[in-house]
Structure 1
Amino acid sequence: MSDCSDPEDEIIETITTSRAAQQSQAAHGHCQARQMRPKVPEGSKNWPAIYPIYLNKFRTREQGRRIGKENAVENPTFYEIKEILEHEGFKVFVENKVHPREPDRFFPLGPPPMGNPHRGRVKFQYKKEDGTLCNPKFENKLKLYTHVAQMIPKLKSRVEAMKMRENATKQQQQAVQQPSGKSKKKKGRK
């Protein structure tokens, strides 16, 4: 897997070769496609970043949370952060990085789309090259972080996940309330 944690951003380039070279590669087990890194936006090296740990309600300030617990959200992901920043008009770039204070930073990556939920760093263009803010609605990054954390629970994916969780909980409660064994009916023969 490349350094980009979003599988949709990975680009596959097909290499065209002669028939003899293809047969030689096939005999030696070489593949004909190679993965290339996505194009990095110019100047993104200096853009600020948001790690999911900055907005996580279950982390302490010492563990990396940047906003107050009352404004934080439960286990945000970089997909959600990216979606909100793009909606607010920021240029966004996602990297496959983990915050140094993340306790599970070496947790193995799983299959997409889940993988390690703590992975991912979202870089965004906060200021233009002339120094003006890209979105004047956010005077500082703390206000932006708070806004992102407040918007995550309103995302369609979060709302649907909550409904599914509630339905599963109701089904479990109903299963517990109903008798687990088959009810025995008395057969009345005369």
Structure 2
Amino acid sequence: MSSMISTWTPDKKHTDVERWICIYPAYLNSKKTLAEGRRLSKDICVENPTHQEIRDVLATTGLRIGVENKLYSRERSKEMLHRGRIRVEIKNDDGTPIKSEYATREAVMKHIVENIPKLKTRQNRPADQQPQSTQQAASKSKGKKGRR
């Protein structure tokens, strides 16, 4: 009989940071496809969320959060705009939810996408303004097409 290797051990607790859920901005980005990492339906997602916006929304929930400088494995761009991962503690050591309204990863993500548009940084931004990285990418694509 072969022994199975498992990462879960009884001494690991839900309060250990590595047991907290991870949320990358790509999970909530309406500009991403499911293959690119979006986890919610496109109609409820927000356009190009940042890890700072996710952190600001979660700070009001009373949940313990952590910010890590990690890049999502499916993210093609290595720019700082796309970096960042948020960790959220949603369960006690005994496995019960810390807050019943945020019992699952999906409930936490839905709360985030509902509240990012309400942030002052989003309300002050004109609708036609694009993030700088998108504008730069568009100008680079013009390139040397006519000069061959």
What interval of TM-score do these two structures reach, taking the shorter chain for normalisation?
0.7 to 0.9
Q: How far has the Cα of 1:140 moved from its partner?
A: 2.0
Q: What percent of counterpart residues are identical?
A: 37
In the alignment, structure 1 residue 71 sits paired with structure 2 residue 35: no
What is the DSSP-based 3-state SS (H/G/I as helix, E as strand, rest coil) of the residue aligned with 1:103? coil
Uncovered stretches (5+) of structure 1, i.e. residues with no partner:
1-41, 108-115, 166-190
Render the CA deviation track for 1:26-46: whole Å, top value 9, x for unaligned: xxxxxxxxxxxxxxxx71111
Aligned to 1:176: none
1:91–1:67 distance in 2 versus 1, CA, 3 Å: same
Give the match for residue 161 of structure 1: 125
Partner of 1:124: 88
Distance 1:133 1:160 in 2: 35
Taking structure 2 as the reference length, what is the TM-score of the superposition? 0.72
Contact map agreement 1:55 1:65 (CA 8 A) in 2:
yes
Count of matched residue positions in the alignment of Structure 1 and Structure 2: 115
| 2:25 equivalent to 1:52 | yes
Higher relative contact order (CA 8 A, sep 6+): 2
Query: What is the alpha-carbon root mean square deviation over aligned residues?
Result: 1.7
Quick one: distance in 2 between partners of 1:164 and 1:53?
21
Q: CA deviation at 1:129?
A: 1.3
Supply the distance in 2 between the matched residues of 1:93 and 1:164 (Cα, whole angstroms): 32
CA deviation string 1:3-58 (max 9, x = no partner): xxxxxxxxxxxxxxxxxxxxxxxxxxxxxxxxxxxxxxx71111111000000000
Q: Is the 8 A contact 1:88 1:135 kept in 2?
A: no
Counterparts of 1:133 and 1:73 in 2: how far apart (Å)?
A: 26
Of 86, 91, 96, the match for 2:69: 96
* TM-score, normalisation: structure 1: 0.57
* Deviation (angstroms), 1:163: 7.5
Q: 2:36, 2:112 → 1: CA distance?
A: 19
Contact 1:51 1:121 in 2 (8 A): yes
Specify the SS of the correspondent of 2:124: helix
Query: Displacement of 1:143 after TM fit?
Result: 2.1
Q: What are the ranges of 5 or more consecutive residues in structure 2 without an aligned counterpart?
A: 1-14, 130-148
CA distance, structure 1, for counterparts of residue 126 and residue 104 of structure 2: 31
- Aligned-residue offset at 1:62: 0.7
Q: Which amino acid aligns with 2:105?
A: K
Choose 139-148 or 73-82, whichever is displaced more: 139-148
- How far 1:158 moved relative to its partner? 0.9
**Where does residue 103 of structure 2 map in the other structure?**
139
Structure exhibiting the larger radius of gyration computed from Cα positions: 1
TM-fit CA distance, 1:130? 2.1
Tell me, in whole angstroms, the C-alpha distance in 1 between the residues paired with 2:96 and 2:43.
30
1:83 Cα shift?
A: 1.0
